[in-house]
Amino acid sequence: MTPPQSLAPGSRLGGFLIGACIHQGPHAQLYRVQCAEGQADPGYALVLKQPRLDQGEAAELRRFEVEHQALRALSGPQVPRLVAADDAAQPPWLVMEAIDGGSLQQRLDQPALPAIEEVLGLGVALAQAVHGLHQQHGVHLGLRPDRVRITTEGRVVLLGYGLSWHAHHPDLHAGLTGAAAGEAGWMAPEQLLGVRGDPRSDIFALGAILYQLLTHELPHGLPDNEAALHRRLWREAPPPRRWRPEIPAWLQEVLLRCLAPEPAQRHPSAAHLAFDLRHPQQVRVTARGEAQQAPAAWTQWRRWWRAQRLRRELPATRPARALSEVPIVLLAVPQEDTPADTLQALRRAALRALGPRPGARLACVTVLAPTTRGDSLAQRRQLAQLQRWAQGLEGAGHQTSCHVLMAPDVATALLDWAQRNAVSDLVLGAGSAAPEGVAVRVARQAACHVQLVRAVPGDRLTG
């Protein structure tokens, strides 16, 4: 094996002035660097990364190449910006944005358990960051606490793309199975079988990270052999309330859904996970959420039997297809004085937007103007009315929730809610064609697909 090579502080490499070595990990070394003369300064701090070839040259070079292609393909606040790279150098290197701030591992290293509200905030931000990767047809496949950074501005940045998968690039890790396929404590069961490219694998890792933050325990421990790793193919994680009884039942329901052995039993997207964390009152709690002990031996045996079939049949899923099949649809329902024809047209448009896609979610939203008093009572009354109206909209495999917002500007409230909840389709009445009308403003400014609905005279379709 090639011995590890260190870069001397003050030396130059590829137009960069080498500073201190700030990290020596099992797979790579990181150095602070600055732009040397003649190199354009991007305006932010930089780090240089080199693979450690003493750990197995072929495997580490493959990880490095995968990370390089991922950083070229991905963008957004959750990804460090790539500045320069040289794949032909021996060893190769890349320079990227330095992400200052603490990692989730540093938070875990503190003796006190974080407050549940703190974990919920981190969970929403982390799920949104992961959803941003999935929207770009990438899957991380190596998430763990030390690869999640929280900057001083609250930005969540995901690091360590050496195991990642991208729909637009060759999969250099195709065929990896067992311990080589991921990070033992956080790896999804299907990764053990060589399944790559399924975004629900990252949802398993998200559940493991949140479970660990809440309890300081890993759901399946830290396995050190293949037999222990493969138990997650059929064994459910112990209920986190076993370690921390004050965890609410709805949150345990969410975590154990993330950690389900079969991908189809998890949240269909990271956006759906973030939605549940934001709206706990909409989470349906089952016996799983209330449990404080692991399932009985008979239940575990049945899962073991089912896992034998999964070993043969579990398919890989392309992220682009998976996300398009599980949209979050926002249906803007007017408050009052709306003709029955318009309401029926909205119902039909919402059902059409959901389509025959199990896992799709419909959020019915009404915006009320705030008043000087009685806002809470008005909001509760409107919510009850909206829930009655929405009956019949929930089909097989679809989940419907109702939300009443208090805001002086309807268009701004709808746009903000759609952005925060990663809405993919927004359905609302066409209303006025005036430039400052709600429908026109929403259609012009929304980042998602918008469908404007007009009633057809005589349309009396019932939900």
Return the pLDDT at 420.
93
CATH 3.30.200.20 fits domain 12-97: yes
Is residue 300 within a helix (H) or strand (E), and if so which, with residue range? helix 297-313
Tell me which residue of 142, 221, 239 sits closest to 187, measured CA to CA: 142
pLDDT category of residue 312 using cuts at 50, 70 and 90: low
Is the Cβ–Cβ distance between 430 and 418 less than 8 Å?
no
Paired strand residues for 211:
none
**Is the whole-model pTM more than 0.85?**
yes
Q: Angle 423-446-425 (CA atoms, 0-180°, nearest 5)? A: 35
Q: Please state, for a pLDDT cut of 70, what percent of the chain lies above it.
A: 88
Q: Using omega within 30 degrees of 0 as the cis cutoff, is the peptide bond preceding 91 cis? A: yes
- Among the residue ranges 103-107, 158-162, 230-234, the one predicted with the least confidence is 230-234
Tell me which residue of 444, 439, 451 sits closest to 330, measured CA to CA: 451
Is residue 3 over pLDDT 50?
Answer: no
Choosing among 3.30.70.270, 1.10.600.10, 3.30.2290.10, 3.40.50.620, the CATH entry for 327-453 is 3.40.50.620
- Residue 108 per-residue DSSP state: H
- Residue 160 per-residue DSSP state: -
Tell me which residue of 242, 254, 173 sits closest to 207, measured CA to CA: 254
Return the pLDDT at 306.
65
Tell me which residue of 276, 269, 184 sits closest to 231, measured CA to CA: 184
pLDDT category of residue 111 using cuts at 50, 70 and 90: very high
In whole angstroms, give the CA distance from residue 140 to residue 132.
11
Return the pLDDT at 462.
36
* Mean pLDDT over the full length of the chain: 87
For 46-90, the pLDDT digits (tens) are 999 999 887 667 888 999 999 999 999 999 999 999 999 998 888
Torsion 177-179-183-187 (CA) sign: positive
Is residue 4 over pLDDT 80?
Answer: no
Radius of gyration of the chain (CA): 25
* CA 327 centroid distance within chain: 14
pLDDT category of residue 116 using cuts at 50, 70 and 90: very high
Residue 315 φ/ψ, nearest 5 degrees: -90, 160
Return the pLDDT at 257.
96
- The SS3 assignment for 156 reads strand
Domain locations along the chain: 12-97, 102-322, 327-453
CATH 1.10.510.10 fits domain 102-322: yes
